[in-house]
Amino acid sequence: METLLQIFNTDLLVATVRLSTPITLAAIGATICERSGIVNIAMEGMMIVGAFFGLIGAMFTGNPWIGLVLAVIAGGIFSLLHAFATVSLHLDHTVSGAVLNILAFGVVRYLMVMFFGHPGTTDPIQFSLKNFQWAIPGLSKIPVLGPIFFNQTPIIYFSFILVIFFTFFLKKTKLGLHIKAAGEHPLALETIGVSVYRMRYIGVLISGMMAGLAGAYLSIENAVSFTEGMSGGKGFIAMAAMISGGWTPVGAFIASLFFGFADALQVRLQIAVNLPIPSELFIILPYVLTVAAVAGLVKRSRPPKADGTDFMIERPE
């Protein structure tokens, strides 16, 4: 009983939100990207790029907010490579995504050596976004829910807002409608005079910026330094969240919370369970759940019809 209480408490839920935030951000980005018709398996790489530049920005200006902006810009610019390759050059989406993942890790390692003289982990920053943790007056006093949702750090609040924003974006805005059409039936969009290329560039760019923001969370909010490989497959788990969430922002958010919960749980199980079980078995828990969730849910959710397809206007009959 004591052990159970030690695991299942408010702290577990607070940790769930913290651990799920980067997944949520990347999953929403990937959702918008795939709704426009481009498969983006480079979320992991874009996240790494964002995390690195976030730290660089925060370190060299001393202002973590500038780090945040730089991370979003870097993620966005890096994602444009994917857009250029898949939309303009008509390259296979998976091939481009795989290449960009490798490129991201290579480029970041190179830059680390350049800036810090060694790969691995950077020096810590003095001032991170964690310093801006804000308990919303009143709301944060609500039992259980207060500490979970209303006493958090900036990017966590942003992630809540972005879930709502992108839901609204897809449902009520012209741009959202055009992006959905580009991912379902691109020629239908082109024939009424809206550029599919542009919509797909926008979709990819949004995913890159969201991945950048997720990266910033990892390096300058949840931590105070950048470590190679610190994304730990979260970009890929985000894709699982996108699929399990049925390609909707709210669905992606809920699925991300689930994966975050699994992650938070395994950390506590490692500490609390006093059995002769290797702790590695707990570490794989989130990944096993990812596979199980995707295998169980993927059948029921319907991907955008033109997801992963190339679009080219002029073809002979």
Site residues, another protein (CB under 8 A):
172-175, 177-178, 180-181, 184-185, 187-195, 302, 305, 313-317
Nearer to another protein, 133 or 173 (CB): 173
**Residue 26 structure tokens:** 């990347």
**Residue 1 structure tokens:** 């009983």
Asked if 282 and 159 touch (Cβ cutoff 8 Å), the reply is no
User: Least distance to another protein from the beta carbon of 298, Å?
Assistant: 16
User: Least distance to another protein from the beta carbon of 171, Å?
Assistant: 9
User: Least distance to another protein from the beta carbon of 175, Å?
Assistant: 6
Nearer to another protein, 182 or 209 (CB): 182
User: Least distance to another protein from the beta carbon of 257, Å?
Assistant: 26
Nearer to another protein, 280 or 317 (CB): 317
Nearer to another protein, 130 or 185 (CB): 185
User: Least distance to another protein from the beta carbon of 209, Å?
Assistant: 18
135 DSSP β-pair partners: 151
Nearer to another protein, 118 or 174 (CB): 174
Asked if 207 and 43 touch (Cβ cutoff 8 Å), the reply is yes
Handedness of CA 281, 284, 286, 291 (dihedral sign): negative
User: Least distance to another protein from the beta carbon of 189, Å?
Assistant: 7
CA 224 vs CA 121, 230, 301: distances in Å: 11, 12, 38
Nearer to another protein, 90 or 305 (CB): 305
User: Least distance to another protein from the beta carbon of 239, Å?
Assistant: 21
User: Least distance to another protein from the beta carbon of 310, Å?
Assistant: 17
Nearer to another protein, 142 or 187 (CB): 187
134 DSSP β-pair partners: 152
Nearer to another protein, 92 or 123 (CB): 92
Nearer to another protein, 66 or 187 (CB): 187
Give one DSSP letter per residue of 142-168, joined into a string: STTHHHHHSEE-HHHHHHHHHHHHHHH
Give one DSSP letter per residue of 233-299, joined into a string: THHHHHHHHHHHTTT-HHHHHHHHHHHHHHHHHHHHHHHH--SS--THHHHTHHHHHHHHHHHHHTT
User: Least distance to another protein from the beta carbon of 212, Å?
Assistant: 23
| Alpha-carbon span 61 to 100, nearest angstrom | 28
* SS3 annotation, 257-274: HHHHHHHHHHHHHHHHCC
Q: How far is CA 112 from the centre of its chain?
A: 22
How would you classify the pairing of strands 151-152 and 134-135? antiparallel
| Alpha-carbon span 142 to 134, nearest angstrom | 15
